């Protein structure tokens, strides 16, 4: 019942089976079956907890149990903008590094206080995960239930990210 605002194009495209938005976000979902962890569902079926996701992202910006997944030079490349404009899938403004969102969009906003070289993802149902190489910080938020938020960062995740940066003694932008 809420005003869809800038998300209206995305919502329309979700309902069109031939659209890239539908195919990328819903087309491969097994909606007719119960959740089955043995079935791969590339567009929607990631199964991970916040602890595991934050460890994965921590290993992108530093060592975790003696393992670092990519070196500092590659991390710098990941955090450098490679693409800006309207995302062809979600039909919203986005900035991308090498495979990760960068803070400059409604779903991955700098206004949450993210560091300038932070990178990560905003996911369906309010999931939010990122790494900040400047602070050797990794963060993951995974909800137990879906979010009604679409087309922008979930408000709870936004507040949590801002609180994390405040706890580091750094006030976030716009927070």
pLDDT tens for each residue of 83-129 = 999 888 878 888 999 989 998 877 777 877 888 899 998 876 677 89
For residue 64, the cross-strand partners are 67
Q: Indicate the pTM of the whole model.
A: 0.77
Point out the residues of the chain with pLDDT beneath 70.
1-7, 28-47, 124-125, 144-154, 170-175
Q: For the chain, which domains are there?
A: 5-28+50-167 (3.40.710.10)
pLDDT at residue 172, rounded to an integer: 45
3-state secondary structure the chain: CCCCHHHHHHHHHHCCCCCHHHHHHCCCCCCCCCCCCCCCCCCCCCCCCHHHHHHHHHHHHCCECCECCCCHHHHHHHCCCCEEEECCCCCCEEEECCCCECCCCCCCCHHHCCCCCCEEEECHHHCEEEEECCCCEEEEECCCCCCCCCCCCCHHHHHHHHHHHHHCCCCCCCC
């Amino acid at each position: 019942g809420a005003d869809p605002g800038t998300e209206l194009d995305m919502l329309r495209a979700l309902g069109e089976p031939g659209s890239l938005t539908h195919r990328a976000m819903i087309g491969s979902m097994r909606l007719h079956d119960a959740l089955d962890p043995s079935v791969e569902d590339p567009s929607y079926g990631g199964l991970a907890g916040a602890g595991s996701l934050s460890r994965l992202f921590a290993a992108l910006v530093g060592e975790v149990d003696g393992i670092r997944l990519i070196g500092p030079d590659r991390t710098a490349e990941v955090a450098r903008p490679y693409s800006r404009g309207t995302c062809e899938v979600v039909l919203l403004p986005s900035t991308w590094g090498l495979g990760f969102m960068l803070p400059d969009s409604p779903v991955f906003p700098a206004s949450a206080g993210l560091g300038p070289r932070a990178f990560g993802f905003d996911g369906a149902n309010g999931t939010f995960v990122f790494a900040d190489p400047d602070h050797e910080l990794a963060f993951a938020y995974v909800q137990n239930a879906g979010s009604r938020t679409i087309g922008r960062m979930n408000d709870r995740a936004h507040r949590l990210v801002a609180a994390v940066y405040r706890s580091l003694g750094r006030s976030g932008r716009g927070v």
